[in-house]
Structure formats: structure tokens, C-alpha cells
Amino acid sequence: MLEGNKREINDSQNDFDDDHQTSSAKTPLRKDAFDISDDEKIQKIQENVYQILHTLGMDLEDDSLKGTPKRVAKMFVNEIFGGLNPSLKPKPSTFENSYKYGEMLVEKNIVVYSTCEHHLLPIIGRAHVAYISNGSVIGLSKMNRIVDFYAKRPQVQERLTMQIVQSLQEALGTEDVACVIDAKHLCVNSRGIRDIESSTVTAEYGGKFKEESVRREFLDYIQLNTTFE
């Protein structure tokens, strides 16, 4: 009876996880998240990956596999989850809007590579970001870097969209920021329902972008064909 109850609880938890519930725009990190160095994290993760593969029955003495635990550990810490480290947060370069540009600026088709925090499978898509200057402008490449920084962590797409907007609002000193992300989740495309055609669209609108006409203008810009040959 106890085992049955445990299975029922686990099944309920799995259903909850698949619902993409999230409590806030903050990534859930423990207070001691940075008490050990990156090198220590790599060593611990390497040992854990070794145990996972060993448990699955893989021969870790094989030439093709012997380096896998360390490669995965370094990739986790230095690459795909590097956005967890606050010291790597890009420092946005802002400048005075001396040319008095008063319309929205849109940076579209920013590549998104992230990782679903429920199954640790890739999220791949595009982000479209816009703002209306309140006296400051930001270097274009910084917008890409902000997207990349928040994408490089275990994520849910809703939170990622909000974090991008909030980071740009803070940097620019204005609420007039918007972000739309269209992405494929391999946890949907490659497992479970295995729907390879579907994608997920999320949006976050601040300030003037909450007005229907301004939001419509932004969405129209996204639809423009800007393919260059």
C-alpha cells in the first residue's frame, strides 16, 4: 500500500512539472549556490555523470565514453548553464539618445539556445526584443548578450521572457520594453507526445507596449521579411 501511495505522489509531481508552473521571474537558486568554485562544481558533476552512465550499463573504459563525464561537466558549468553565474552577467553599455530617435527600436530574430529545467532538454528558438528610448539607448549587441545570458541556465520560457524584459528595463531606465520568444522544446518534440511541428510563443510587454496600437506595431515589425542574400 505504501509503495502504491509513493507511486501516486510521484505521478502527480510529474504532471505538475509538465504544466510549466513557475513562482516568479527569479531563477530558483539556493543561497549557497556559489560557495564552491567552478572547478569544484566540475569535479562533482563529473563524478555524478560517471555514476549515471555507469548505472545505465555503459562501459566508461571505452575510448568513446571515457572522456564524456568531464566533457559534460565542463559544458554544464562553463557553457549551457553559464548564465547562472552573476559574475558573467553582461554590463549593458547605454548612451545618451543624442539624435533624439523617438520611435521603437526592434532587434528581431535573436537566436535562443536554452535548456528546459523540467527534463534538461534543449529549447531552441528566436527572441524579438524592442524598446522605446526614455533618453538612453543601448548597444545592439548588448541586447543579444542579455538574451544569451538568461537563456544559459535551466529555464522555463515564460521566466526567460520576463527576465529579458526586466533586465533591459533596469538598464535603460524605462518600462517601455517588450519581448516575444518563439521556440521549440525538445521535451515536447523528442519525447512524450513527440510533436515535432509545434512551438511555444511567450510575450512580455511593459509600459507603452501594453497599448494595443504600440503592441501591434511591434508585432508588425516582427513579421517583416528581413532576409538578405
Catalytic residue from among 46, 107, 118, 204? 118
Kind and range of the H or E run holding 5? helix 2-18
User: In the annotation, is 128 catalytic?
Assistant: no
Pick from 132, 125, 198: which is nearest to 155 by CA? 125
Structure-block grid coordinates of residue 210: 501594453
Buried b (16+ CB within 10 A) or exposed e, 138-175: beeebbbbbbbbbbbbbbbbbbbbbbbbbbbbebbebb
Instruction: Exactly one of 128, 155, 179, 187 is catalytic; name it.
Output: 187
Enter the C-alpha cell of residue 184: 521549440
Give yes or no: 187 in active site: yes
Q: Select which of 46, 107, 117, 128 is catalytic.
A: 117
Give the three-state DSSP class for 7: helix
Catalytic residue among 43, 119, 166, 175: 119
Rounded Cα distance between 49 and 67, Å, is 11
User: Which of the following is catalytic: 107, 157, 163, 204?
Assistant: 157
1: helix, strand or coil: coil
Does 212 participate in catalysis according to the annotation? no
Q: Which one of 107, 155, 163, 185 is the catalytic residue?
A: 185
The single-letter code of the amino acid at 16 is: F
Is 117 annotated in the active site? yes
Is 61 considered catalytic here?
Answer: no
Which one-letter amino acid corresponds to residue 29?
Answer: L
Candidates 46, 116, 155, 163; catalytic one: 116
The residues annotated with a catalytic role in the active site are 116-119, 157, 185, 187
